Amino acid sequence: MTPNRWSDLSRPPLNQTALRRALLHEGTPLHEGDVLWTHLEVLESVNSTHTELVSRTRAGEARPGTVLVAEEQTAGRGRLDRAWSAPARSGLFFSVLLRPAAAAERWGWIPLLAGVAAAGALARTAGVDTGLKWPNDILATGADEERKIGGILAERVDDEHVVLGMGVNVTLREEELPVPTAGSLALAGAQGTDRDPILRAVLRAFEDWYGRWTAADGDPTACGVLEAYAAGCVTLGRSVRAMLPGGEELLGEAVAVDGDGRLVIASEQGVQRPVAAGDIVHLRPATGK
């Protein structure tokens, strides 16, 4: 038989029935402060779970708590509309639909708390040291290197909804990496690469953090997510180059994440500037936190 992208026995398919049984709260009312997954669908192939869920939401064909997972994405989306590509069944590619109860000005914390949830869940489930690169990269952190194993994308669809997408490289091999700085759980020495328990752990951790954040009306300090994000953020303490929208560059030390989720960068002159969006390049290793 001629090998194809679905015939790799080391990359078994996700079990939709088992995932639904473990995660869904069908028929259970949504209570304030809860994220109760109401629908989960595993798609064999889709251009992008994010694009698909945004489209369904705008058409009124998806309800809050929907989880779309893809075995393969043919046009995966990352931040700034960058492509996210990976072999079929080599990772977790999923998007969820949320209707936040917190004030809209605090919705910027949703991708950050998703990072906290995912990094913690991956560390516990796969036994890999993880860290967060501001604003929404998940890293596998080794003794002498850090590799990006995951990314997060959040998009406001209308005045009520947010679609949150996540991609995590699970069994990607060295020769399959899109760029040298990428990695995977397998390459980081994961103790297990079964995607079913990993996905369950990430979604449950997100449910927990999102529930705390919602119960605190989106206050990142009151719910503990600001402290948790700062503790896991390997950008802090680094000399960084921030490439900002419009082409401006800012050099300095990343000294804090503020209450709005912005990265605070201190220049050599000691002037502190909060950055709400941009690409961050780490210029030197962290000095320790």
pLDDT tens, per residue, the chain with 289 residues: 444 555 577 899 999 999 999 999 755 444 444 547 999 999 999 999 999 999 999 999 999 999 999 999 997 655 545 555 689 999 999 999 999 999 999 999 999 999 999 999 999 999 999 999 999 999 999 867 899 999 999 999 999 999 999 999 999 999 999 898 999 999 999 999 999 999 999 999 999 999 999 999 999 999 999 999 999 999 999 999 999 988 899 999 999 999 999 999 999 888 999 999 999 999 966 554 4
Q: What is the pTM of this model?
A: 0.91
Q: Which two tokens stand for residue 73?
A: 């994405």
So what's the pLDDT on residue 289?
A: 46
So what's the pLDDT on residue 75?
A: 77
Q: For the chain, which residues make up each domain, given as ranges?
A: 16-230, 237-282
Nearest of 177, 192, 164 to residue 94 by alpha carbon: 164
So what's the pLDDT on residue 50?
A: 96
Q: Which two tokens stand for residue 106?
A: 């605090």
The span from the CA of 205 to the CA of 199, in Å, is 10
Neighbours of 111 (CB within 10 A): 21
So what's the pLDDT on residue 210?
A: 96
Of 2.70.98.30, 3.40.50.300, 3.90.180.10, 2.30.30.100, the CATH number of 237-282 is 2.30.30.100
Report whether 100 contacts 218 (CB < 8 A): yes
Report whether 84 contacts 159 (CB < 8 A): no
**Which class is domain 16-230?**
alpha beta
**How many residues would you count in the chain?**
289
So what's the pLDDT on residue 77?
A: 58
